[in-house]
Amino acid sequence: MNNPEPEFLPVPGIRLGAAAAGIKYADRDDLVVIELAEGANCAAVFTRNAFCAAPVVVAREHLRTVAPRYLLINSGNANAGIGDDGLRAARESCRALAATRGCAIDQILPFSTGVIGETLPVNRIAVAVPEALTALNDRGWPAAARAIMTTDTVPKLCSRQFEYQGQQVTVTGMAKGSGMIRPDMATMLAYVATDARVEPTLLQACLEQAVAPSFNSITVDGDTSTNDACVLMASGVSPCPPVTDRESELFRNLCATVQAVCMELARAIVKDGEGATKLVEIRVDQAATLEEARRVAYTIAHSPLVKTALFASDPNWGRILAAVGRAGVEGLAVERVEIWLDGVCIVRDGGRAADYTEAAGQSVMEQDTFTIRVTLGRGDLSTRILTCDLSYDYVRVNAEYRS
């Protein structure tokens, strides 16, 4: 890796260590341990894919039992789609770490990412755990962010701080994700930490509030992974007062900061979409319901014809118009619909806008970042999602993924 180390802020009470277990990749770290301070709290959201991976099942079970002390993450193998063997492997991985640290198995949350349908080599994880523990330190974020990568081309890290009663509160997060991205809860894998002291139900509310406009509003290819998980950790070592009131200024500041970190990580995931060359925001305004707004937005974003036109910088506006028309909006009055590329109106009054020119559309499409905006003329609800183009490299990366 020749990528420069991403900027980040350590989070007091959170330590990370990475090691090379040889799960799939040679000569690179692929195992991460995250240690939480005693008394820390954790919130999480997971995939809604019915074939959820074994570590998702086990992590959910453990979260219902006790506050976690460790997160154990491996890349290169999803530990998904192999039934009871996967559950045994996830629990054995937790047992290997628990034996080393002298804690209960259910104090460990396991996570995996990689190829679906292959047996997780627990013995390799057990051998590498001591190395990851030796590496534990509060500045381990960049190494951890690299170790959880699969087809990602860059590590994804983000930090923010805010001040409360003269004290700095830190929020730092990392994520991995590049393909198989259309989260239905969070993202592929994301871990966000703060040193604030937060009551568990408020921590969960903070996370769910943050993922809605961020990780739950992105798509690369429309595929929801079996392993998606997003965790928000609160170490509780900040000298600030504990967060116990949903209406408090401290809670509002924390939620805004966590959301800002999640938004930046979500944007980084789409920008790093496998082979992506364009980052495109799709906005749908004047919808009658939020559901129909999101249906229109995702129909555009998931259209292979639209996505390949984005890659070619081709203002083939008919593809966008067709996607809006087939999105299933009942009683859509097409004469009220307008479609824009940034500030260029391409569709109005049921067809191509009278003042639209190919040159104007081309100038927008040639940009690396732009907005497709649709106004439905039906109400006052809106949504926005981030997506990317579909390039030659997307096909190559996914065709060669298991080789």
Which residues lie below 8 Å from residue 375, measured CB to CB, with a gap of 6+?
284, 285, 286, 336, 337, 338, 340
Which residues lie below 8 Å from residue 258, measured CB to CB, with a gap of 6+?
171, 192, 194, 206, 207, 210, 232
**Which residues is 179 bridged to in the sheet?**
none
- Taking Cα atoms as reference points, which of 17, 22, 25 lies closest to residue 124? 22
R_g (Cα) of the chain, nearest Å: 22
Catalytic residue, chosen from 172, 187, 257, 375, is 187
- Taking Cα atoms as reference points, which of 197, 186, 172 lies closest to residue 248? 197
DSSP state string for 129-140: HHHHHHT-BTT-
Half-sphere exposure of 101 (CA within 13 A, CB side): 30
DSSP state string for 158-219: EEEEEEETTEEEEEEEEEE-SSSB--SSS-SEEEEEESS-B-HHHHHHHHHHHHTTTGGGB-
Read off the tokens for 26. Answer: 């040679």
At residue 158, what are phi and psi to the nearest 5 degrees? Answer: -155, 140
Cα(103)–Cα(193) distance, rounded to whole angstroms? Answer: 21
Catalytic-residue membership of 187: yes
Contact 48, 230 (CB under 8 A): no
| E strands, 334-392, in order | 338-341, 344-348, 351-352, 369-375, 381-388
Cα(388)–Cα(362) distance, rounded to whole angstroms? Answer: 17
Cα(299)–Cα(308) distance, rounded to whole angstroms? Answer: 14
Report in angstroms the alpha-carbon separations of 367 from 236, 341, 342, 364. 44, 11, 10, 6
Contact 133, 204 (CB under 8 A): no
Give the N- to C-terminal CA distance of the chain in Å, as an integer.
20
Cα(278)–Cα(366) distance, rounded to whole angstroms? Answer: 9
Which residues belong to the active site? 187
